[in-house]
Amino acid sequence: MRYAYYPGCSLKSVAVEYDAALKAVCEKLGVTLDEIDDWACCGATPAHAVDRFLSVALPARNLATAQKAGNDVMVACAACYNRMKVANHEIATDGALRKEVNEALGTDYDGGVKVLHLIEVLVNGIGIDKLKERVTKRLDGLKVACYYGCLLLRPPKVMHFDDPENPTSMDRLIEVTGAVPISWEFKTECCGAAMGIARTDIVHKLCGRILSDAKNRGAEMIAVACPLCQSNLDLRQSDVEKDLSREFRLPVLYFVQVLGLALGIDAKSLGLDKLIVDPIPLLTQKGVI
């Protein structure tokens, strides 16, 4: 299996562990990733808040390159995934915009490149049963709250990713490892996303709700699929604890790091040391490490 890989800016900086973990897991499973040549930032949230053309042209630039290379694109960052699928949709349905974008880029892009999230590649491409066979270290008894956030799922008519109100694809991946994906009510509630810098107070409030619900329902760890969600829930956790006068101590791992542990990959390769809320004590206690 081969994919054109689009890391996105965060996976080279604040989310390096996501990149490291997914590369380790892909190598183990025989998935080849070719990083898209000379890729640029997708524009994330600021682009679509400032200019529609820009917000579509930036992802399109990368997709046009991928189309020439020929393979489907795999993305791990939920925000980049969302922007790329939206760009595809806009270009495919708005003829005037398509013309404008192609003129500016000097390309002939039609919005047709298939963009897949890492979760889709693992669940649909490789398959739950095959993954189960490859598990060498079970994470029995570990209670994980799978947090999907917003951009993986919405708007459902464009994203076509799982059930937008009650998704289960990440839960199934966590289940493969032997860990228990708990049932909880804030799976798809926004963490505050791009407000992280400009209105950190909002992120505190929203993450407070998420962390509280997860903890109330017995979660020992939170699994995420988005660098922004990870950073909001992890980096800001201590501040939220202060706001709510409550201890959470919930490590926030990328789901692929959890999967990597079950596949027998070591903690260092998975970048577990890069997480702010230290997962090692919990994992040691559970006999994983």
Partner 1 sequence: MDVLNLGTKAAEDFIREVEKLSGQKLANCYQCHKCTAGCPAAYTMDLGPGRIMRLVQLGQEERVLTSNTIWVCASCLTCTTRCPQEIDVARVMDTLRILARKKGFKGDKDVPIFNEVFLANLRAHGRIFEPTMLAWYNLKSRHFLKDALKGPVMFFRGKLPMFPHEVREKASIERLFSKAEGGEKK
Partner 2 sequence: MARIGVFVCHCGENIAATVDVKKVAEEASKMPGVVHAEDYRFMCSDPGQRLIKKAIAEKKLTGVVVATCSPRMHETTFRRAVAEAGLNPYRCEIANLREQCSWVHADRTKATAKAIELTRLIVEKVKRNHDLFPIRVPVTRRALVVGGGIAGIQAALDIANAGHEVILVEKSPSIGGRMAQLSETFPTLDCSQCILTPRMVEVKSHPKIKLYAYSEIEEVSGFVGNFKVKIRQKARYVDAKKCTGCGLCQQKCPTKKVPSEFHELLGTRTAISIPFAQAVPNIPVIDRNSCLFFQKGRCKLCEKVCPAGAILYDQQDQIVEEQVGAVILATGFDVMGVEDFGEYGGGRYKDVITALQFERLLSSSGPTGGKVLRPSDGKEAESVVFLSCIGSRDRSKGVEYCSKICCMYVAKHAMLYKHKNHHGQAYVFYMDVRAAGKGYEEFIRRAVEEEGVVYLRGRVSRIYEQDGKLIVKGADSLSGTQVEIAADIVVLATAVKPKPGIAELAQKFHVSYDAHGFLNELHPKLRPVETASAGVYLAGACQAPKDIPDSVAQASAAASKVLALFSSAELEREPTISVVNEKDCVGCFACEAVCPFGAIERKEVRDKQGNLVKIVSHVNPGICQGCGACVVACRSQCIDVEGFRGEEVFAEIMAL
Binding to partner 2 by residue 164, rule CB under 8 A?
A: yes
AA identity, residue 68:
K
Cα radius of gyration (the chain): 19
Q: Which is nearer to partner 1, 2 or 12 (CB)?
A: 12
* Residue 156 is a binding residue for partner 1 (CB under 8 A): yes
Site for partner 1 in 66-85 (CB under 8 A): none
10 Å CB burial of residue 289 (0-12, 13-18, 19+) is middle
Which of positions 202-221 make contact with partner 2 (CB under 8 A)?
213, 216
CB under 8 Å to 268, separation ≥6 — which residues? none
Cα(146)–Cα(175) distance, rounded to whole angstroms?
A: 10
Residue in 5, 10, 8, 7 with CA at minimum distance from that of residue 234: 10
Q: Does 241 bind partner 1 (CB under 8 A)?
A: no
Residue-level length of the chain: 289
Query: Considering only 35-43, 117-125, 129-137, 163-171, which stretch makes contact with partner 2 by CB under 8 A?
Result: 163-171
Q: Which residue has the tokens 């959470």?
A: 248
Residue 74, SS3? strand
For partner 1, the closer CB: 177 or 237: 237
Residues that bind partner 1 (CB under 8 A): 9-10, 12-16, 38-41, 43-54, 57-58, 61, 96-97, 100, 104-106, 150-151, 153-156, 164, 189-190, 192-195, 197-202, 205-206, 209, 235, 273-274, 276
Q: Can you give the binding site for partner 2, defined by CB under 8 A?
A: 163-166, 185, 213, 216
